[in-house]
Amino acid sequence: MDLTREEESILNGEKGAGAQKAMELVVALGKVYGAENLVDITSAHLSGASYKTIGDGGLKYLEDMVAGGAKVSVLSTLNPVGMDRDRWKEMHITPEFAEKQLRIIDLYGRMGIKTTCSCTPYTGDNVPKFGNHIAWAESSALSFANSYIGARTNREGGPGALAAAILGKTANYGLHLDENRKPTVVIDAEIDGSLFSHSLLGQAVGMAIGGGVPYYRGIKPTLEDAKTMAGAMAASGSVALFHVEGTTPEASKFDVSGLETIHIGKEEIQAAYDKLNTTDDIQLIALGCPHLTVKEVKDIAAFLKGKKKVNKDVEIWFCTSTSVRDQCPDEVRILEQFGLVLADTCMVVSPIEGTFQRTGTNSAKAGNYLPTLCSQKTMCRDISALMEVVL
């Protein structure tokens, strides 16, 4: 790999042990993937923030990085953690878990990372621009940033994104390069246009193609639709970039006439739905995967206003960011009559398996991960159908 003199000096340890470790990792990744050089990034978004997912080994790694003087050099944000910092007792979190979780947040903060802890940083705390190179590690967020914004990132892992954040650089390969951003398949989509149908569409496409760069026709996704599609495709497949004709910023530059076309309609959507529904009997309804936006909080509040929760046995979690929670206090008050409005955490990275075994969600991404990461059976429906269980 072609390294500048400054990059070589970091690799030789002249800027401290933390920066050296970071450079070793970025260079190693670059060699594996055939990068010719490093590229400057404008921001990073880090995963590996929940004590549930990183455990004591991850905590020790962060301790070592801080002890080695590691500091980020670009705007860096953090994914959801395992609990709401203020309401963890109501989430059935143990004091031991809480103590370690707070320590992890503190360590990230000491490295200069914004500890706002959301998987939708692009709605406020970390908004890349078209063409920016970034290093993001949250499959739904990075796919959204690549696709809906036109920024450029690979599907980074937590340590790779942290290393890039420290250096302000990442290895220049994969989706940083023009040739890898071309569509590989056309998706002719036929759905009802609801938010939930976009989630199922993403699920069906991930199931159909696995990876690659789908080019959609037949839909006009809003930010919220694209957010749930991105999460679904990244979970049921490994899609990190998609284009939508007439909507996403790079779509118009491609000629897709020679590509294979796959039709996704009623039958495929039903198969996606069936895969995500394994129970009719739930103990928890968890919304906000990816985190609820202000519009979604307002829509849910409008739907619930004037209604009453009759079934008190089922808990409800509305997962969002602190900034969204702060932006709509009136709607949050309505939601609080039905359940907990939780900030900076989610149903997947929280240790819910200690309390619940059956969870309802309107998110295909959560529908994929709740069984594998939280041992849950799932009910995956749109919000009004889920709420029928409690109203």
Selected range binding ligand F3S among 89-97, 208-216, 305-313, 365-373, rule: CB under 6 A:
365-373
Selected range binding ligand F3S among 5-13, 63-71, 191-199, 289-297, rule: CB under 6 A:
289-297
Token representation of residue 349: 């990275």
Do residues 361 and 370 touch, judged by C-beta distance below 8 A?
A: yes
Which stretches within 34-115 are classed as H helix? 51-67, 95-110
Quick check: 22 binds ligand F3S (CB under 6 A)? Answer: no
Quick check: 290 binds ligand F3S (CB under 6 A)? Answer: yes
Quick check: 18 binds ligand F3S (CB under 6 A)? Answer: no
DSSP 3-state of 332: helix
Quick check: 174 binds ligand F3S (CB under 6 A)? Answer: no
Residue 258 one-letter amino acid: G
Query: Minimal distance in Å, beta carbon 48 to ligand F3S?
Result: 11
Do residues 204 and 268 touch, judged by C-beta distance below 8 A?
A: yes
Quick check: 365 binds ligand F3S (CB under 6 A)? Answer: yes
Nearest of 304, 360, 350 to residue 330 by alpha carbon: 304
Q: Residues 190 to 209: which contact ligand F3S by CB under 6 A? A: none
* Distance of alpha carbon 289 from alpha carbon 355, whole angstroms: 19
Query: Minimal distance in Å, beta carbon 238 to ligand F3S?
Result: 15
Compare residues 64 and 353 and give the one whose CB is closer to ligand F3S: 353
Quick check: 349 binds ligand F3S (CB under 6 A)? Answer: yes
Quick check: 214 binds ligand F3S (CB under 6 A)? Answer: no
Q: Which helix (H) or strand (E) holds 22?
A: helix 17-33
Query: Minimal distance in Å, beta carbon 230 to ligand F3S?
Result: 9
Sequence-distant (≥ 6) Cβ neighbours of residue 223 within 8 angstroms: 123, 148, 293, 295
Q: Residues 303 to 322: which contact ligand F3S by CB under 6 A? A: 319
CA 25 to chain centre: 23
Residues at the site binding ligand F3S, with contacts judged by CB under 6 A: 79-80, 119, 140, 231, 289-291, 319, 346, 348-349, 365-366, 369
